[in-house]
Structure 1
């Protein structure tokens, strides 16, 4: 269902300003492609993408090949209706500030109407105040205040992930590709009856504590929400335990052990 947002994702530009290390350009390209983003614009990089960038891109070569090269930030932002600047530190000047999730939601919403941009600054010093003045908002990734240095490609990955997550939420795309065939309430009750019977046969617990024990076991399996295949496995284990108990008791009495129990044969 995220297909309906492909046009919007294609209108989101990641603008890297004066990147020093070409490896970061390649790593950023990889970060974008893994999240379904395809637009990267480079503003006056110290070096254009090279072999190191290709190596770090790890298959996102097409993004590097299509990346725009610009002399100024103004050129890279041409035609954008919304510009968000990434800032590693909170500025003394008051600026509309977004967290990564809110930033992603705004970019997705605005990209439905036209071009938008997310601007990441230099590895060492970020964006200048003049560059920030071109931005409508700032986005700040809340890192550890005692070690807040975040690599530009790592920042791109965090923000690209949030954009994809926002697109999935907006499209109603489920987290799981296919629904599980969960065990029904009556099937779970049958399992709990089987479990209680088996615990009694193998001598686990006592009658005084059995109610509390079963309540806890119910909570455990209700949290797990087993599917039908998993429930069959569990019941097969219980049947096997019952069979061993029966054979053990028969052998202690000097009786010949019974054939394999029917429940065990079925599993």
Structure 2
């Protein structure tokens, strides 16, 4: 029998970034619990959950008690195979965007294979460009353009409701990608390596490469490499940095030739 820990909906976490008012943290916990979501993560809140948060949680204080508090965003999403960011504003560089229903379907499908995160930003300014650049997709709630201000707890309730509704209906979902996809922390390590390499080989100006960096993130997030593919890419970067000898394959071929046919050979996948 499948346990609740194995259900996809239990692998979806809501990540609140630098929340100012603890009451909003409690309200988000309540919104989540009413829809069967239990994974709440906090990144640098102005204050950890207090009496106001517990009061606004209205019985969801167990989610508050269990919520990890992280010093940086990457720590909160490190093991996630998919990260979706909530955004109310248009961005200079267009990012793949979903509506709440599409996001719920994708997140539930991806959660069949591993942890998934939904990022919710600050009350006043939302998520920064750098934080959104760590997301494979953005999700936008289509509010009235004349008054688009939406409280973070209200937004969380909409997302939680859509996740619950799609989960209950178990309707059409995107095809499940069963590959062993690289996690958020592995991708971040790759992007750091890529940036260093582009500077080292003279392709990128370290003072003016923000837009290039975001475009490359969008490219590789669209490709969504698995662990083997990411290791290949890291190896290419290391070679471009001169960490691998250009004649290493010739030396190996010479060694195999001295051993004779059939000795010491390796098959390639």
Task: Name the SS for the 1:40 alignment partner.
Answer: strand
Task: Name the SS for the 1:46 alignment partner.
Answer: coil
Q: Larger Cα Rg: Structure 1 or Structure 2? A: 1
Aligned length: 171
* Alpha-carbon distance between aligned partners in 2 of 1:102 and 1:32, rounded to the nearest angstrom: 18
TM-score by length of 2: 0.61
Q: Which residue of 2 aligns with 1:96?
A: 96
- Cα shift at 1:90: 2.3
Q: Which residue of 1 aligns with 2:238?
A: none
Residues 15-69 of structure 1 deviation map (CA, whole Å, 9 limit, x = unaligned): 0000000000000000000000000000000010000000000000100000010
Superposed, which structure 2 residues align to 1:108-257 within 5 Å?
A: 108-170=108-170
Q: Please, which moves more after superposition, 6-15 or 158-167?
A: 6-15
Greater share of residues in helix: 1
- Cα shift at 1:9: 1.1
Residues 84-128 of structure 1 deviation map (CA, whole Å, 9 limit, x = unaligned): 000012223210000000000000000010000000000000000
TM-score by length of 1: 0.62
Answer yes or no: is the 8 Å Cα contact 2:4–2:10 preserved in 1. no
* Alpha-carbon distance between aligned partners in 2 of 1:4 and 1:77, rounded to the nearest angstrom: 21
Superposed, which structure 2 residues align to 1:35-74 within 5 Å?
A: 35-74=35-74
* Alpha-carbon distance between aligned partners in 2 of 1:142 and 1:164, rounded to the nearest angstrom: 19
Task: Name the SS for the 2:143 alignment partner.
Answer: coil
* Alpha-carbon distance between aligned partners in 2 of 1:19 and 1:7, rounded to the nearest angstrom: 28
Q: Which residue of 2 aligns with 1:247?
A: none
Q: Please, which moves more after superposition, 24-33 or 83-92?
A: 83-92
- Cα shift at 1:7: 1.7
Unmatched 5+ stretches in structure 1: 173-267
Task: Name the SS for the 1:105 alignment partner.
Answer: helix
Distance 1:75 1:171, change over 3 A: same
* Alpha-carbon distance between aligned partners in 2 of 1:12 and 1:19, rounded to the nearest angstrom: 19
Q: Which residue of 1 aligns with 2:19?
A: 19
- Cα shift at 1:158: 0.2
